[in-house]
Chain A
């Protein structure tokens, strides 16, 4: 879990959002899923190729994908 920065005052110290760390293989899997689905969709719908949707697509897949799988598997965290 990230320790955000030495320059942040104690009063501003973040309450870090909880989540488990992905293994290298899981990370590669979710980035690949994001890339394949985004490119696949964007080839046919060019409106998806923009500054907002592109970055958000990756963040959404990498953030929500593992959570979703964990819930489906009923994994304890």
Chain B
């Protein structure tokens, strides 16, 4: 799985929208779309232990990304389905398109761990994965071992990459960008908030996901590499060892599901990304007209 990458990518998506969508796609929609897959599936991955009994999935990777399981939550199909419901309910183009883009970003980013996502669901339940780092959610290790493995492998590089993308586009975090590109796409939500909190708090709220991503990256890395004292193969270590090799780290067995050849995954992801982009572009004007018509009908 990806950790802080999901917090960073939403800013990158919003900053790199097609020209005609600039300041017109909802940041809240992107955030919701990116948040939904893990919100629907992750609570049971680690589970909880009460007394001597563990409540949670018996095979975390199957539950999280497979079928049968909640793997359908990490598919473009589910993203489109929820977006269609959202559209029928709200008739809000900014929110709907934002939701699809955020959802797609999450599902496509998660192909990088050793489990991947079922990109062609429901037509196929085979996983698409590049196996760049180990999927390490286990019942016994829980969140701690998962975090240690992620921040010792190419997962850390993934987080740093997305953080770099946001920092290179640093204007996305400025007050000016928020005022001119974010607020106009969600006027009612920000107006509602502005009656309850000062501008600096709203701006902090907008930046808060980036802040959380950075702090998450730093805190887990500090713990995993400076404070933890794991025993691996009978040897006590001061911090979990880094391992920037494919499907690393070596000290944990990478979980996996039945998957396609990893070499075709980048091509598949590029095709799906292009399909999402083309579909969003093609639907943009018709959805705008439908939104106008719905607003007109409401007024009259």
Check if A and B associate.
yes
B208 partner residues in chain A, CB cutoff 8 A? 54-56, 58-59
A21 partner residues in chain B, CB cutoff 8 A? 199-200
Assess A16 versus B215: contact at CB under 8 Å? Given A4-B187, A63-B200.
no
Query: Contact: A43 with B227, CB < 8 Å?
Result: yes
Query: Quick one: which of A6, A22, A58 has the most chain B CB within 10 A?
Result: A58
CB-CB contacts of A1-33 with B at 8 A, as 1s and 0s?
Answer: 110111110001111111101100001000100
CA distance A35 to B197 in the complex (A): 21
CA distance A19 to B204 in the complex (A): 14
Chain A 31-77 interface residues, beta-carbon cutoff 8 Å to B: 31, 34-35, 38-39, 42-43, 46, 49, 51, 54-56, 58-59, 62-63, 66
**Contact of B298 with A by CB under 8 A:** no
Query: Contact: A39 with B222, CB < 8 Å?
Result: yes
Chain B 182-229 interface residues, beta-carbon cutoff 8 Å to A: 183-184, 187-188, 190-192, 194-202, 204-205, 207-209, 211-212, 214-216, 218-220, 222-223, 227
**What's the tally of chain B residues with a CB closer than 8 Å to chain A?**
36
**Contact of B179 with A by CB under 8 A:** yes
Query: Contact: B201 with A6, CB < 8 Å?
Result: no
Query: Contact: B184 with A6, CB < 8 Å?
Result: yes
B183 partner residues in chain A, CB cutoff 8 A? 2, 4-5
* Contact of A12 (CB < 8 Å), options: B179, B191, B202, B219: B191
A62 partner residues in chain B, CB cutoff 8 A? 200-201, 204
> Which residue numbers of B lie inside 8 Å of A, CB to CB?
35, 143-144, 179, 183-184, 187-188, 190-192, 194-202, 204-205, 207-209, 211-212, 214-216, 218-220, 222-223, 227
> Which residue numbers of A lie inside 8 Å of B, CB to CB?
1-2, 4-8, 12-19, 21-22, 27, 31, 34-35, 38-39, 42-43, 46, 49, 51, 54-56, 58-59, 62-63, 66
Name the 3 nearest CB pairs between A and B, nearest first: A19-B198, A5-B187, A55-B208
Query: Other than the known A2-B190, A14-B192, what 4 A-B pairs have Cβ atoms closer than 8 Å?
Result: A4-B187, A16-B198, A43-B222, A49-B216
